[in-house]
Each structure stands twice: as structure tokens, then as C-alpha cells.
Structure 1
């Protein structure tokens, strides 16, 4: 059995380090966590691979030199790309290998995220069930109201009175359109292979036509990402909804929106773990999302804007779910990031 291949299937980041804190080995999960390619990772010392670690490097070096083990729970880690993580750190000396130790970095924020996602999915489905039943209850009398207004319009001779029936019909159609948007896509559609960058480019081409001058769109694509099974129209809608939210968040002061694609290894979505996934990030440097909205952000009719409908993120979340994926959000003043995660075959 190939030991390296076995270690590369682990979710936990595993490194072998010496007394100089230089990695001698790093598995795929370590590359992903530190966001550093393997060849570069093995050239640098461990302290050069992150901005901050909640364990002093002298403690790690002394432990490796003295063949001692260390365990630190919920330590903060800030990687070179500015990502914040919470990890459990374990240092284990290797028997019969002087001055070499195994360093395990296990993300506990990922476990928390998985738990939050399961709760959010359950609550989202309950909310969708409630909205779906309510929508049907609204649509039935709404259809009768519209039909009655049409019949009444045919019997009226006065243009002034007909104007009122036309108003009733217009408002009934508007409410029906709102109900249809509330329902959103409910079942998986036919999926075919498409390139995610072509989907994103169509969205950006659409929004660039009306983009304010004080907002800049930037792209950071990984061209090696293979085609994936998708409904391109649905995914375009999901990406468009998030990009439009970012534009509205930056509308007053301007700023930058970055669209980034990457692959990630050994990622859990719901209760299933995938060896390889696509991570599509939409990042803006706007004011951020109000903390009190974060837990209900993807619920229908929840919005932080006075003129918002609260449907865009709910529909995007549902589309990601119908593709076997998920949407996460990390937000602070100056950095709001929505990550659409989709499994790759």
C-alpha cells in the first residue's frame, strides 16, 4: 500500500517537520489548508507558511528537539492568503527517527461549518415547505380574482371603470410573479457538462453593461478545473444573484469584486465527503453583512436593504443544493465572501 497516497486521502493536514521546523513531507490536506503548493511548501520553514499561528515557533522547535508531544486545541491560524482558521494542533515525535515529528493540523471551523450547514439546510427546507404551501394557498384565490376581473372588464363599457379592472389584473400578475420567485427551482433539472468559467463570463458580461464606474470586476480563475455536470442557466442565476448583491453593497462607496475559482480536496458537503470539489468565490470589499443577518441570510424574504426582496440568496442556495453543493458566507467590514462549493466528478 502506498503510504503517501493513503495520507493524501486524509482530511487532516499532516506534515513531517525537523528541528528547524522545515517540512520534510506534507499531504494534500496540508497544501489546501496552508494554500501553498507542495514544492514550495517543502522549500520553506513552517513559520514562513503562515501569517499567524497561536502556538509560538520556539515551543514547537523545543518539542521536536526534545522528542516531546504537544496538543493545543482551538488555536488560531491565519494563512498567507489571509484566511482565518481555527485548528486543533498535535505534535507527535516519530519513533526511531531522531529530531523528526508529525504535525497534525485539524480544522475545527470546518466541523462547525458542517454542523451549521446541516442545521441551515434543515431550516431552509422547513422554510421552503412553509413558503410552498403558502404560495399554493395564495395562487388559487389569486387566479379566481384575476378571472373575475377579466369577466367584469368585458361587461363594463366605461373606460374609467375598465381602468380599475386592468389595475386588479396587473397587481394579480405581479403577486403571481412574486409567488413564483418565492418558490424558485424545486427539482433537479437535466444536467450536462459545462465549463464553470464560461458560465461566470456570461454573468460578468451581463453585469458589466450596467456596472457603476466606481466598481471594478476582477477575475482569478484556475484554468485546470474540468467541466462539471450542471444546469448552466440555473448556475448563471445563482452567480448573478450573488454578484448583484455585491454590486448593491458597493454602490455607495464603490470598490472591487473578485471572482475566484479553485479546487479543494477532501471536502464534506452535507453528510458526504468528496475527494475533489470546485470552490467558486465571489468576494467584495464592501461594508460587510450585519452580524444579526448571518444565521438567516439564505432564508426567503430576509434582506438587509430597504428595497431588497430577500429572494436572491435563497434562490442561489436552493440552486447549489440541487447541484449537490452548498453556499457559505464569511463577512467582516472590508471583506465579504460567498463560496459556492460543487462536487467534481
Structure 2
């Protein structure tokens, strides 16, 4: 019995992903944590070269593993691994040779979740600061607007020449326009009216409105998980959040005359998912995907801020409102974009939301 066989029961009890390789870099054993991480079965893949199961994007396959034999151990941080199923993960890993030179031990720590939580916290904090600033500025703007409008109305009554009323009408109309803009910047101020809802009914309502607004030019594709149960939330607010995203995609495809413009609605269930610092056993993952021109990389990180828009006719408020509505449901919106595919991902906890203002 080799030293590897002796240690297998202990390795199987660990929550850390561990892989054992022989001297030819072929798979001898991986514990359940490693099987779950790499989405492969040890029993079916034993004896295969480990480089068959993942490829490190910045490295010639197997180069670091061969190099690890020459030293006591090797550690690499923030390595990007491309898995056999096409998924990409970010890991820290350590390669250590066995003392008897029989093979290698690879210890893997996935850090995607930690990086995502850190990124979300920084983004949420920045956006919350911006939201507070915008609200403060909006209230300061609304106060003098009321005075300007009132003064213009009084002035219109005292004018000796009615032909001059055109100018006071312009003042009143522009004051009203600015007030409406400020109200939109402030966003919805009502708390969600929570009830049981079916996320597919929400998406179908959005699909119907997009089909009507585009006169059927935009094709709607569906990729639903019918097993998703009802969740708790405000149906009208979720429709508005998703409609803002889908409408932006439709308008971007129209402006760039995208051939065969298509919107894809996708639903899945994600298990053991963390939003902010709160862990959820189950979340609903909804995606709105379009095949339009994409969002410039420099703008992707800013699109949820007010007054930021990639379209000439855009107001820059739709996505801000969507984010606010999803935030009130303790959810999360993410955006990934490249030419030919823009993907908005919405995550909503299946446990009842505690309303957030």
C-alpha cells in the first residue's frame, strides 16, 4: 500500500479540494470537495492526465506541475482555470511532491466567491454613497424649483401684455420638466408589496411588452427552469426592473440595426449563494441576454450610476431604478458584456425578503 492510499480516507473528510497525482501526472485520487469543484467523477477519470481536466490560461498545460517536482512545493495565487465543462474558475493552489517521490498533491482553494463578495461590497458601498448624494442634491433642487414656478405663475397674472405670457409659460414648463427629472432621479420611494409570485409570469409580461413595443422585430427566446417555485416579492416592481433592462437592450439593438435582434430570458436555481455578506441556501438566477453591439468595457462598471448611458437618447436612469428595485428585494444585478452578447444577471433570494429602503 502506498502512502497515497493510506491518506485517502483522511483527504476525503476534508472540505478543502485535494487532488493526488502519480509520477506521470495522472489522476490517482481526488476527494469529494475536488470532484464538486471540477465537476468530474474520480472513479470515471482515474488514470487520465490531469491536464485533461483543466487548463491554466496563463500557463502551458502541466508546466508548473512538472516544475513542482524540482522544488519542495509551489504556490500560485489568483490562477484562472478553464475546466472541461467550459466553466472558468479562479483559484489559489499549492503543489507539493510526496516525500517518497511517488507523485504530487494539489491543494486547491477556490476564491471566485471571495473576490465576488469583495467586489460587490465595494460596488454597493460606492453606489450607496452616490445614491445618498443624488438624493440630497435632488431635494435641494426641488425646493427652489417650487419657488421659481410659483413666482412665474404670479408674474403671469400681473403682466400687462398677454403676449409676454409665452415667456412665463416656458419658465413653468421647464420647472415642471426639471421636477419630473428630479423625481425620476430619486426613484421609487414605496416599499415592496410582498406576495407570492412566479418569476416566469414576470418575464412573460416583460416579453409581451417588448414584443409590442418593437412591433415584433425583436425575437424572444426562452430558456426556463420550470421547477422553480414561487418566491416572495413585489410583482410590479420586478416587472419594472426587468422591463428597464430589456427595453435598454431592445433600443440598443434598434440603434445599431443588429441583424436578427434576439432577447433571451433564462432562469435557473443557484445553491449556496452569497449576496453581500448574507448567505442564501437557494436563489433564483434570472438572465436577460441580447445579441446587440455590447457595452464598452470602460462603461460596464458605471452603468448603474445615475445619468450614465451608452445611448444618444438615453437618460441614464433606467438601470439605476432597476438596481434600486432589486436591492429592495435583497437581490443583486450584475452585467457582463462583449460585442454580440450582453448579459444582465439578477439574483433573488428564495427566502422571504426583509424590505430595504
Of the candidates 302, 315, 322, which is equivalent to residue 308 of structure 2? 302
Which residue number corresponds to residue 117 of structure 1?
120
Which residue number corresponds to residue 320 of structure 2?
314
SS at match of 2:171: helix
Q: Distance in 2 between matches of 1:30 and 1:188?
A: 43
In the alignment, structure 1 residue 178 sits paired with structure 2 residue 181: yes
Question: Does the C-alpha gap of structure 1 residues 90 and 334 become closer, same or farther in structure 2, counting only changes over 3 Å?
Answer: farther
| Structure 1 residue 209 displacement after superposition | 0.7
Of the candidates 100, 106, 110, which is equivalent to residue 106 of structure 1? 110
Q: Distance in 1 between matches of 2:226 and 2:301?
A: 34
Matches within 5 A, 1:1-345: 14=17, 21=27, 26=32, 71-79=75-83, 82-89=86-93, 104=108, 106-108=110-112, 110-155=113-158, 160-186=163-189, 188-211=191-214, 215-251=218-254, 252-254=256-258, 255-345=261-351
Aligned length: 329
- Residues 147-203 of structure 1: CA distance to partner in whole angstroms, max 9, x if unpaired? 233334445586543343333322222211111110113564332221111111111
Q: Distance in 2 between matches of 1:314 and 1:237?
A: 12
Q: Distance in 2 between matches of 1:130 and 1:290?
A: 26
Question: Does the C-alpha gap of structure 1 residues 204 and 92 become closer, same or farther in structure 2, counting only changes over 3 Å?
Answer: farther
Question: Does the C-alpha gap of structure 1 residues 206 and 85 become closer, same or farther in structure 2, counting only changes over 3 Å?
Answer: same
* TM-score with structure 2 setting the length: 0.75
Stretches of structure 1 lacking an aligned partner (at least 5 in a row): none
Question: Does the C-alpha gap of structure 1 residues 141 and 102 become closer, same or farther in structure 2, counting only changes over 3 Å?
Answer: same
For the Cα contact (< 8 Å) 1:51–1:82, is it kept in 2? no
| Structure 1 residue 288 displacement after superposition | 2.2
Question: Does the C-alpha gap of structure 1 residues 61 and 52 become closer, same or farther in structure 2, counting only changes over 3 Å?
Answer: closer
SS at match of 1:209: helix
For the Cα contact (< 8 Å) 1:220–1:261, is it kept in 2? yes
Question: Does the C-alpha gap of structure 1 residues 160 and 126 become closer, same or farther in structure 2, counting only changes over 3 Å?
Answer: same
Stretches of structure 2 lacking an aligned partner (at least 5 in a row): 1-9, 352-357
Rg bigger for which structure?
Answer: 2
Q: Distance in 2 between matches of 1:234 and 1:243?
A: 14
SS at match of 1:278: strand
* TM-score with structure 1 setting the length: 0.77
| Structure 1 residue 319 displacement after superposition | 1.5
For the Cα contact (< 8 Å) 2:56–2:79, is it kept in 1? no
Q: Distance in 1 between matches of 2:287 and 2:296?
A: 20
Q: Distance in 2 between matches of 1:243 and 1:302?
A: 17
